[in-house]
Homo-oligomer: A and B are copies of this chain.
C-alpha cells in the first residue's frame, strides 16, 4: 500500500476504532447496574447505648500509648448537669457503624441561647487523645470523625446525618448559656450492617486466642458489609476490588451473603471504563460511580476474575458468571500490554504510564515478581472460568501466555542457589514475591516450601506492610503445606492485634510500629478494615489447621 493511501486509511479507521473501544459494553452496563441495584441488601438496624464512661490513660504498654479505663456508670452522665462533664468519653463496648442521636433535657431555667458541642467518634482510644489539628495527614482531614454542632433549643433530640464508625465517643461542650442548665437525657446509636445472623461457633476446644481472632474477624467483616463490601466503614467507605476479593472469600466461610458479592460484581462491571477495563473502586452515592481519572489499578482488575471464579465455585451461580464473562474476558486484554518478548511483565514502563501496581502498602516493595504472579494466577482462573462456561474458545491465547510467563518467571525471577524468588533490577527478596510466585503456581510446592523457609533467614526481606499482603502470605504457607507456620503467622499477627485490644482488625498493623500510617497520621488509619478480616476464611476453611 502506498504511503498516502495508508495515512488516509488510518485517518478514516482510527476514529472508528477509538469509537468502537469507547462504546464497549455500552449496551450491557445499564443492565448490570440495574442488577447491582436489585441485589442491594436491606440494612439490619440495632439500637445501642453506651455502657459507661471511660478515662483515657496514657500508658506506654497500651496500643499506641493510650488505654480506655472504665470510669463511671451511665447514670452519672444522665442524672447530672452536662456543664461539668464536657470532655466525657463514652464507651459503647463494641465497634459500631451507623447513626448517632442524643437527647438533651433542661434541668433549670429555659434554654435562652444555642449550645455548641464537639462530638468526636473514635475506633481506638488514641483517636480521642491525639489532637487532630494542625492536621499533618495526607488524606482529607474531613475523614476524622469530629463534628461541631449547634443545638438551637433544649429540649431537643439531635441526629447526626453523617454515618459514623466507632466504639468511643467524646462529647465536649463548646458553649452554652449561663442562664440555664441541662443534661443529656439519652444517647442512642442506630447501628447498620447487611449482616443478619452470625455463623456457627467454632469447634469446641478451639484455642481461645484463635476463637477471639475469628470473632474479631467476623465483627470486622460484619461492619464492612454494608450495601457493598466497604474497605473500611470509617474510611474510605467504598468498594475496592481487592477488598471485595478478600471479603467475599471470608463471606463464603461465614455469613454466606452471596447476593452482596453478586451486587458488587455487577456494580463494578456496570461502572467499567468506556474501554471495558475495570475501575479499581466504586462509590454508591449520590449515585453509583467509579473513581474516574484515577490511575488504572492493574492487579485489582485481575483479581476481579479470580474472585468471580471463586464465587462460581462457592455458589454454582452460572447465570451471573455467564452474564459477567465479557468483562472478565476483557481484563485479560491488558496482560500483553507491557509484556516483553520473553514473557516478563515490564512493571517499570507500566508504572511510568500511570498504571498503579498496588500489591501492598509498601513503598520499598519491588512489584515485578508479584505482578507476574498475579497475572499468571488471574489467567489460570479466567481460563478455568471459561472452561466451566464452555467459552475457552474465546480465550485461546491464555494457555500459551500462562506457559510463557511461568517460564519467564522461573528463568528470571528464581534464584536456584537460595531457593528464593527475586524481583526487579536489585533482585529484591520480599514476602510479596514469594507469596505470588507460589499462589500463581510458578513455584512447585517443594520450591515454595523452600522459598518460604529461606525467607525466614533473610533479615532484609521486605515484609508485608499491611494485613492485605499478610493474607496472601498465609495462603501461600498453606498452599505449600506449611500449616504450622500458617497457624503461627495468623496467631502471631492477628493475635497480636487481639492482645493489643482490637475490637476489629486494623487497616495497617506493624507490630514494631503501632503508629505506622500510610497517610502520615495514624488517627486517620482505618481500625476496622475489610482486608484484615481474612482469619475468618483461614480458620473456617481449614479447621484442621486452626480449630484444634
* Interface residues of A, Cβ cutoff 8 Å to B: 108-110, 112-116, 135, 138-144, 147-148, 150-153, 155-156, 162, 174-180, 235-236, 238, 283, 285-286, 289-294
Cα separation A144 to B179 with both chains bound (whole Å): 17
14 more CB-based (< 8 A) A-B contacts, given A109-B293, A141-B176: A109-B292, A110-B290, A112-B236, A112-B291, A113-B143, A115-B142, A116-B142, A135-B175, A138-B178, A141-B174, A142-B176, A152-B162, A153-B286, A179-B294
Residues of B within 8 A of A176 (CB): 140-142
Which residue of the partner chain, among B116, B140, B152, contacts A113 with CB atoms under 8 Å? B140
Whether B294 lies near A140 (C-beta < 8 A) is no
| This chain's copy number in the assembly | 2
Whether B109 lies near A291 (C-beta < 8 A) is yes
Cα separation A153 to B162 with both chains bound (whole Å): 11
Shortest Cβ gap from A358 to chain B (Å): 15
Which residue of the partner chain, among B109, B150, B156, contacts A162 with CB atoms under 8 Å? B150
- Chain B residue nearest to A180 in the complex (CB): B293
Which residue of the partner chain, among B113, B153, B236, contacts A236 with CB atoms under 8 Å? B113
Shortest Cβ gap from A411 to chain B (Å): 39
Whether A283 lies near B110 (C-beta < 8 A) is yes
Cα separation A293 to B177 with both chains bound (whole Å): 14
Whether A294 lies near B114 (C-beta < 8 A) is no
Residues of B within 8 A of A174 (CB): 141-142
Shortest Cβ gap from A106 to chain B (Å): 9
Shortest Cβ gap from A529 to chain B (Å): 16
Residues of B within 8 A of A150 (CB): 142, 147, 162
Cα separation A235 to B236 with both chains bound (whole Å): 39
Whether B291 lies near A110 (C-beta < 8 A) is yes
Whether B115 lies near A140 (C-beta < 8 A) is yes
Residues of B within 8 A of A285 (CB): 152-153
Whether B110 lies near A139 (C-beta < 8 A) is no
Residues of B within 8 A of A156 (CB): 286
Residues of B within 8 A of A151 (CB): 142
Which residue of the partner chain, among B110, B175, B290, contacts A140 with CB atoms under 8 Å? B175
- Chain B residue nearest to A282 in the complex (CB): B110
- Chain B residue nearest to A289 in the complex (CB): B110
Cα separation A144 to B110 with both chains bound (whole Å): 20
Question: Would you mind naming 27 contact pairs between A and B with Cβ atoms under 8 Å apart?
Answer: A108-B293, A109-B293, A109-B294, A110-B291, A110-B292, A110-B293, A112-B283, A112-B294, A113-B140, A113-B235, A114-B142, A114-B143, A115-B140, A116-B142, A135-B175, A139-B178, A140-B178, A141-B174, A141-B176, A142-B150, A142-B151, A142-B176, A143-B175, A147-B148, A153-B283, A156-B286, A179-B294
Cα separation A306 to B21 with both chains bound (whole Å): 82
The 8 closest A-B pairs by CB, nearest first: A141-B175, A113-B140, A116-B142, A114-B142, A148-B148, A142-B175, A110-B291, A140-B177
Shortest Cβ gap from A308 to chain B (Å): 24
Which residue of the partner chain, among B113, B178, B179, contacts A142 with CB atoms under 8 Å? B113
Residues of B within 8 A of A147 (CB): 148, 150
- Chain B residue nearest to A176 in the complex (CB): B140
Residues of B within 8 A of A143 (CB): 113-114, 175
With A141-B116, A147-B148, A153-B286 given, is the CB distance from A110 to B294 under 8 Å? yes
Cα separation A114 to B293 with both chains bound (whole Å): 18
Of listed A110, A144, A176, A292, residue having the most chain B CB within 10 A: A110
Residues of B within 8 A of A142 (CB): 113-116, 150-151, 174-176
Shortest Cβ gap from A184 to chain B (Å): 16
Residues of B within 8 A of A113 (CB): 139-140, 142-143, 235-236
Shortest Cβ gap from A413 to chain B (Å): 33
Cα separation A103 to B115 with both chains bound (whole Å): 27
Shortest Cβ gap from A334 to chain B (Å): 21
Residues of B within 8 A of A293 (CB): 108-110, 180
Cα separation A113 to B139 with both chains bound (whole Å): 8
Cα separation A283 to B154 with both chains bound (whole Å): 12
Which residue of the partner chain, among B109, B112, B140, B292, contacts A116 with CB atoms under 8 Å? B140
Cα separation A12 to B62 with both chains bound (whole Å): 69
